[in-house]
Structure 1
Amino acid sequence: MPSRLPTDVSSLAKFIVSPECRSIAILTGAGVSVAAGIPDFRSPGGMYDTLRPELITATAAQRRAMAADPTAVVLKDMFFANAFPYLEVRRPFILGTRERRWRATLSHRFAELLHAKTGKLTRLYTQNIDGLDYQTALPTEKIVAVHGSIGKVACEGCGAPMEFDAFCAEVRARIKDLYGVDSAAPAESTPIPCPACHRPLVKPTTVLFGSSLPAEFFERSAEDLPSVDLLLVAGTSLVVSPANSLVYRVPDSAVRAVINAEPVGQELGIRYSPGGRDLFLGGECDDTFLALMVQLGWADDLARLDAELPAASQKRLRALLAAGVGDDDFTTV
């Protein structure tokens, strides 16, 4: 256990640069992508809430299943029976990813700078499928996409990869637009065959409900977690397993800092108590990570990334810089 446990953003920054902290792992969820404007699937007004099964290319029975439970769209059994629900619902997200409609946020940039400035980032485990972590300069071997990524494509049947740009061209030409935003979209969907096995099972490598997680998650977590000194949990409800198992698989001596809108993880053994190993930092992820990066003396590095940030992240950063905050003001090292 560290000699002095962090109790706020400032002391967390000091712990990060201290000799007692040698290995850091990060687990992220949807909250780190909020500032990017990524469509939220589960919240009111999100994809599942606004799903209209009657517009989807499917049988009557499949439409009833989706009406009863919108997550049927991403079930493995549904996809193997009919790939169109997945592809039609995800069409805007797939093409938007190709166009880089969404950009990595301040929260994503924290992991990038943590690796570059300290060398202490052992691994970033992301539950997000948006692929924004890959827009940063973080080496790909540092990232484990726990639930796959929208930006990588392979056949769900034979596993053969497909080049993302080529897949997007097929989606644009073959998959209809449910949302009325693309006048060039076809009126009806037609199958996208796998270049290798020719079955219509090619899709982004997002993990379908009913499928196993990538082997990399189990291999890397078994390798990484025993030596972790700090686990940062950001923007996740910690209700999805086995990703949430990271919080109780790190050593008892590891500090666990939760950055989220509300306290989470109590049912997993997290205890927010004065003087304990578990620290809760409430609020928007971008706000907390910006404050943490300022305390670490990385404000000038962020200023150089300004043009690459989404508008919401830019607004936060520019307000800070306009106040005259720079590395000389907050460096803790």
Structure 2
Amino acid sequence: MELTVSFGNEEEGFAVYPKTDCPHAKNGGIQRLGSKELQAIARLATTNTCNTANCATESIENWLCLKCNFVGCSRYQLSHLLNHNSETAHPIAASFTDLSVFCYECEDYIQVREMIPVVDALHWGKFGERHPMAKAHLGQPAGGSSSSSYAPLELLDVEEEGEEEEGAEESDGNKDVEEPATSNRVLRDSSIEAFAEYIKSNKCKKIMVLTGAGISTSAGIPDFRTPGSGLYDNLQKYNLPTPQAVFDINYFRVNPKPFFLLAKELYPGNFNPTPSHYFIKLLAEQNLLLRNFTQNIDTLERVAGISPEYLVEAHGSFGAASCVGHFSKAIFDTTDGNEDDEADPADDVPETWIKSCGRVFTQEWVKERVFANVIPRCPDCNGLVKPDIVFFGEALPDRFRECLADFSDADALIVMGSSLIVTPFALLPDFVGGRVPRLLINREVAGNFLEDDENGRDSVFLGDCDAGCAKLAELLGLEKEFEKLVKGEHVRIESEKGSGQENKLEAEVETGIANLRI
């Protein structure tokens, strides 16, 4: 399931997370399907047409009801899926565009085990290979197709709390438990010191780094959801149907103003990289970095000088922008920043959707208009221009899928500042080999990392990301290089800002975008 935006302080909620305890999905909201039914769903993904008669939304996002397989268009277009939900009380639907799953009862995106087989079938219909979630459950490698023909996953059984598997032997409290042999351990213990020892003794040169919002916290990126913080409160007056709507591509198409109001607070240039960003650059300079997969959209990796060849911006970034098209009849007067704030997009049904002309714009071009309170529009076709961050309803960048095979080459993995909740990013730590050591630097244990791993390959540093990076640099014998890099880069950035060379940083970002396919 390709969920989207994640930035800022995750612990304070500056992110969009799926709900993992949706009762409507677990109580029959998702139909149990056999192999033939799942194969039919895979075929549906190739047609992607609303089932409602005379519906003209083939080019707009459609959704699949996971109870009866009705296909309907988005609530922000002609609302046929929403109407279906109201008439049938079928609450759960999956997007044909990004395979996200939404519950209309919870009014939230969800992530539960019951949806995996259906999402896997849709993914196969779109891409001819299993979804990363399915691969993780099957124990298959990250890259490449799993088979030449589609063999659907059976719906996973979810054990009720306290329920034991049938035929399981009762545990004997007096029974001796055999400890794993020390020789089979990857690391001597779960400390960051043991991880550093492994890196040095095995001369690791292909370290995979996964980063989340936690590495940008010390940059001062503001909170999103905390009452009184300003950003979310400023959006309330627009009567968003859900908090996630500000990052929903279909809502953006009819009401882009809330997003651009938020974007003014988030645009690159307001924040500087953190020591955590410079540690990743240090790994690159020492020829130790294989790839940096990041959930963040703040472009601070690029500002820190990390070469684009190392970066996979899983959720896109503000680094460039693109025309996304528009409706033939505008909902708002978007020629300036004075749209009718009380208007509701649902009060006016859009006309024909005019597809994007494909024009790409620089970050500075969009930023100039946003800060002038003008909604950016393409001068060629009048289409809305959106920064290239991934919204709900949009697929992850091609580069994300193209670089998944890199995990097979990794000889170590570091996860920093991520709660490992949003999939498919949350599945990536499982894509490295079973004997590849993994380090988590985070304020709390996340994902399936184990503080006391019997296989001895997980190490955990609980605390601030910057502190964890400084400690690891010291243990790797790179303390002086790390300190020099952090101080030198901060001086460089401040000097460029003070001398009126801000455009140099913008040019670096634009050059990076042009070279994304390296």
* Shorter-chain TM-score tier: 0.7 to 0.9
Return the match for 1:107 from 247, 253, 276.
276
Q: Which residue number corresponds to residue 421 of structure 2? A: 239
Task: State the alpha-carbon separation in 2 of the partners of residues 45 and 21 from structure 1.
Answer: 46
Q: Which residue number corresponds to residue 226 of structure 1? A: 408
Indicate conservation of the 8 Å contact 1:25/1:231, yes or no.
Answer: yes
Q: Which residue number corresponds to residue 102 of structure 2? A: none
Amino acid at match of 1:7: S
Q: What is the CA-CA distance between 1:3 and the residue it aligns to?
A: 5.4
The secondary structure found in structure 1 opposite 2:414 is strand
TM-score with structure 2 length normalisation? 0.50
- Cα RMSD after superposing both structures: 2.2
Is the aligned partner of 1:300 residue 2:469? no
Q: Which residue number corresponds to residue 300 of structure 2? A: 132
Question: Residue 19 and residue 282 in structure 1: after superposition, are their counterparts in 2 closer, same or farther (change >3 A)?
Answer: same
Task: State the alpha-carbon separation in 2 of the partners of residues 146 and 114 from structure 1.
Answer: 20
Amino acid at match of 2:213: A
Structural mapping, 1:42-191, within 5 Å = 42=225, 49-54=232-237, 56=238, 63-65=239-241, 69-94=242-267, 97=268, 100-117=269-286, 119-157=287-325, 158=356, 159-173=358-372, 175=373, 190-191=374-375
Amino acid at match of 1:294: E
Q: What is the CA-CA distance between 1:51 and the residue it aligns to?
A: 4.2
Is the aligned partner of 1:215 residue 2:384? no
Task: State the alpha-carbon separation in 2 of the partners of residues 191 and 161 from structure 1.
Answer: 16
Task: State the alpha-carbon separation in 2 of the partners of residues 16 and 115 from structure 1.
Answer: 15
Indicate conservation of the 8 Å contact 2:192/2:459, yes or no.
Answer: no
Q: What is the CA-CA distance between 1:41 and the residue it aligns to?
A: 2.8
Question: Residue 120 and residue 196 in structure 1: after superposition, are their counterparts in 2 closer, same or farther (change >3 A)?
Answer: farther
Task: State the alpha-carbon separation in 1 of the partners of residues 186 and 467 from structure 2.
Answer: 28
Q: What is the CA-CA distance between 1:241 and the residue it aligns to?
A: 0.4
Comparing both structures, which one devotes a greater share of its residues to helix?
1
Of the two structures, which has the highest relative contact order with CA contacts closer than 8 Å and spacing of 6 or more? 1
Q: 1:200-238: CA deviations, max 9, x gaps?
A: x212111111211101101101x2011212111110110
Task: State the alpha-carbon separation in 1 of the partners of residues 226 and 460 from structure 2.
Answer: 23
- Structure 1 unaligned runs (5+)? 57-62, 176-189, 311-333
Q: 1:234-272: CA deviations, max 9, x gaps?
A: 101100001111111111111111110000113xxx333
Task: State the alpha-carbon separation in 1 of the partners of residues 280 and 371 from structure 2.
Answer: 33
TM-score with structure 1 length normalisation? 0.76
Q: What is the CA-CA distance between 1:167 and the residue it aligns to?
A: 1.6
- Structure 2 unaligned runs (5+)? 1-183, 326-355, 492-518
Q: Which residue number corresponds to residue 7 of structure 1? A: 190
Higher Rg of the two aligned structures = 2
Is the aligned partner of 1:258 residue 2:440? yes
Question: Residue 274 and residue 165 in structure 1: after superposition, are their counterparts in 2 closer, same or farther (change >3 A)?
Answer: closer
Percent identity over paired residues: 33
Task: State the alpha-carbon separation in 1 of the partners of residues 430 and 214 from structure 2.
Answer: 21
Task: State the alpha-carbon separation in 1 of the partners of residues 189 and 282 from structure 2.
Answer: 20
Task: State the alpha-carbon separation in 2 of the partners of residues 227 and 35 from structure 1.
Answer: 32
Question: Residue 289 and residue 192 in structure 1: after superposition, are their counterparts in 2 closer, same or farther (change >3 A)?
Answer: same
Amino acid at match of 2:487: D
